Amino acid sequence: MPVQIVTHEYRPFRGGIAYYAEELARASAAGGVETEVWAPGYGACGWERTGCLAINRVKMRGRQDWWSRMRMRAALRRERGNGLGTVVLVEPGPIRLWMGAWGAGLPQAQRLVVVLHGTELRQLSRGWQRRRFGELLERAAVVGVVSTAVEELLRQRYPELSTPVRRVPGAVRAAWASLEPESRPRSDGRLRLLQVGRISPRKGQDLTVEAVAMLDAATRERIEVVCVGPVGKGDYFRGLRKRVEADRLPIRFVGEVADEDLVGWYRWADLALFPSRPSGESMEGLGLAALEASHFGLPVIATRLGGIPEAVLDGRTGRLVVPEPAALAAAVADCLADPGPYGGFGEAGAAYVREAFSWTRNAAILGLIPA
């Protein structure tokens, strides 16, 4: 049965769901299944084909709004009006589209798969949306969740759900699978810290800034912090930069970088920070950047939130702390004072990621390719 993955986030957009959609599609196509991705064009339009993988760039913006959903609906009706195979909804935009699809003339799917990252359950939790979301989940052949934390939230929202629920966490992108981890720690006495993620409140760069400001001057002289990721809208980044400049903190924001340059930053660092924190309806379903850091042999200091404890094993692949600057500062200071255990965290993390996370396994669990 052919597979159609529908998403409103896809490359060149950089983000966890965009990577998830792309890697799941590649795993499906690598299994010999004709796989299509229906994704925003971001200015482009038309089909891109490589082997069993085809990407249809729809003339739409990569948003969840009504206009984008109607563009996607029109493209599906125009080109697949005679029906669809296995439809995989991996992102809130197409989930909203299918929720309203009962009489909207969308092509009939032979099989429906829904993948949840957590935020959808919080966004669609009231009134008619909650009811329609529940009806959609009941129609699915399988519901995938990226962590047990997301499954727990799903069970709270829909305790009577009869559809099978399967755990399908993300993994390191396939192009990096063969890259070996670095040997750490280094012997120069300095600590290079790396934080990867969109510059936004949920990713907790403000916790990093406040934590570094809490360190004494002698400790700050021994560390260097680099934050990699695209800058979002609003005053959040301006506030971060103003605080860093005012207090002369050893923190750099280098913006969004290409994948090959990101590999270089992972190899440069001694320690990864993943201080995600609560932010509105948004939820950290797992934490792909934490998995990537472990893949390259980095110990990780992260917050105990959402699905992060499944990406970072406390006391084994890193340290988990409460989402507060003082706790983050104490963990960094501890690593400087006694770096020995952190080297073991990096080695264990690299082995854990390679053993426990697989895009091919995810595709098989969801029934996209033979098990």
Q: Mean pLDDT lowest for which of 83-92, 168-177, 191-200, 335-344? A: 335-344
Q: What's the pLDDT at 182?
A: 81
Distances (CA, A) of 10 to 42, 55, 74, 78: 9, 10, 19, 21
Spatial contact of 367 and 141, defined as CB atoms under 8 Å apart? yes
Residue 242: CB atoms within 10 Å? 12
Q: What's the pLDDT at 63?
A: 87
| CA gap 134, 351 in Å, rounded | 38
Percentage of the residues of the chain whose pLDDT score is greater than 70: 98
Percentage of the residues of the chain whose pLDDT score is greater than 90: 87
Tokens describing residue 3? 């597979």
Tokens describing residue 41? 């064009």
HSE toward the beta carbon, residue 248, CA cutoff 13 A = 4
CA 127, 167, 90, 63 dihedral sign is positive
Mean pLDDT of 94-101: 87
Q: Which residue in the block uniquely carries the two structure tokens 């971060």?
A: 240
pLDDT per position as a tens digit, 204-263:
999 999 999 999 999 999 999 999 999 876 799 999 999 999 999 999 999 999 999 999
| CA gap 35, 19 in Å, rounded | 16
pLDDT tops 60 at residue 102: no
Sheet hosting strand 3-6, strand order edge to edge: 46-50, 53-58, 35-40, 3-6, 84-89, 109-116, 142-145, 165-167
| CA gap 212, 249 in Å, rounded | 7
Q: What's the pLDDT at 44?
A: 85
pLDDT per position as a tens digit, 125-182:
889 999 999 999 999 999 999 999 999 999 999 999 999 999 999 999 999 999 999 8
Q: String of b and e for 79-116 (b: at least 16 CB within 10 Å)?
A: ebeeebbbbbbbbbbbbbbbbebeeeebbebebbbbbb
Distances (CA, A) of 299 to 54, 226, 251, 259, 278: 37, 16, 19, 20, 23
The per-residue pLDDT of the chain, averaged, comes to: 94
Q: What's the pLDDT at 343?
A: 83
Rg of the chain in Å (alpha carbons): 21
Q: What is the pTM of this model?
A: 0.94
For residue 187, what pLDDT band results from cuts at 50, 70 and 90? low
Tokens describing residue 22? 């792309």
Residue 209: CB atoms within 10 Å? 22
CA 78, 44, 359, 290 dihedral sign is negative
